[in-house]
Amino acid sequence: MKVSYHGHSVVRVETAKHKILIDPFISGNEACDLDAQTVEADVILLTHGHNDHVGDTFDIAKRNDALVIAPNELAVYLGSKGLNTHPMHIGGAHEFDFGRVKFTQAFHGSSYTEEDGTFIYCGMPGGILLTIEDKTIYHVGDTALFTDLKMYGEMNKIDVAFIPIGDNFTMGPEDALIAADWINAKIVVPVHYNTFPVIEQDADAFAEKVKTGEGRAMKVGEEIEL
C-alpha cells in the first residue's frame, strides 16, 4: 500500500485494488501536483465541508463514478447534487470493500460556499481513521488540540498520522507536537500549512521536534510504503 501527500491536506492511498483520495483540494492549490481532470479515485473521503477540503470532489467523483464518504450532512448535500455518497457520523465506523472507516471528533467548523455565494451548513467536522490491510492511517482533519486525541492513540495502533500545523484555523506547531505525542503514531506528517500566508509554517522544524514516532515533513508527491 502506498500513501502519498499532495499539498495542504490532500492525501492519496493506493492499494492493489483501490485508489482513495482524502480532502482533494487540487484546483486553486498551488502546492498540489495532481491534475483534477485526470486523477483517478474509486473512493473520496472528506473530513468536513470547507471548500479547501471538498475541493474538486464534484468533478472527480462524477468522472470516476467514485463513492464519496463524508459526515452525514455533508454527504446528504453532495448526494443532492448527484454524487454517490455514504453518510457517516462522529464515532461511527463502517467496513467497506477497501477497508474500515471510522470518523473521530474534530473541533473546527464545517460549511460549503457555492459559486453564487450560497452558504451550506455541513454538520460536524471530523477526523478519519482508515484501516486497510492491518495498517491504520489517521487523518486528523482540521482541529484544535483536544484531550480525546490521547484516547484515540491508546485505542488504535496508528501507522501514519496526518496532523495540521498551520495555526490560525487549526492547531499550530506547539499544540500539534502535543497531539503527536498523544496519538503515538509510528510516522507523523504535518499538513495544512503554507497554502496561504496566514498558515505559513516550517514543517521541517516541526518534524525534527516530534518525539513520539518519526516526524516526516513529506514533499509534495512523496510516498510512504506501508
Torsion 198-147-91-135 (CA) sign:
positive
- Structural domains in the chain (count): 1
Give the model's pLDDT for residue 92: 98
pTM strictly above 0.85: yes
Q: What is the pLDDT of residue 178?
A: 98
Q: What gap in Å lies between CA 128 and CA 140, rounded to an integer?
A: 6
Burial class (CB in 10 A: 0-12, 13-18, 19+), 140: buried
**Does residue 224 lie within any of the structural domains?**
no
CATH number at residue 134: 3.60.15.10
Predicted confidence (pLDDT) per residue in 71-124, tens digit: 999 999 999 999 999 999 999 999 999 999 999 999 999 999 999 999 999 999
Residue in this structure with the C-alpha cell 470532489, named with its chain if needed: 57
- What pLDDT sits at residue 47? 98
pLDDT score at 95? 98
* Structural domain for 8, as ranges: 2-216
221 within domain boundaries: no
What residue ranges of the chain have pLDDT lower than 70? Answer: none
User: What per-residue confidence (pLDDT) applies to 170?
Assistant: 98
Q: Report CA-CA distances (Å) from 82 to 78, 93, 123.
A: 7, 24, 19
What percentage of the chain's residues is helix, strand, coil (to nearest 5)? 20, 30, 50
Residue 185 lies in a domain: yes
Domain assignment of residue 102, yes or no:
yes
Let me know if residue 27 belongs to a domain.
Answer: yes
Please choose, from the candidates 152, 188, 191, 151, the residue with its C-alpha nearest in 3D space to the C-alpha of residue 170. 191
136: in domain: yes
User: CA–CA separation, 171 vs 160, rounded Å?
Assistant: 18
Are the C-beta atoms of residues 184 and 212 closer than 8 Å to each other?
Answer: yes
In contact, 105 and 28? CB cutoff 8 Å: no
The confidence score (pLDDT) of residue 73 equals: 98
Q: Of how many residues is the chain composed?
A: 226
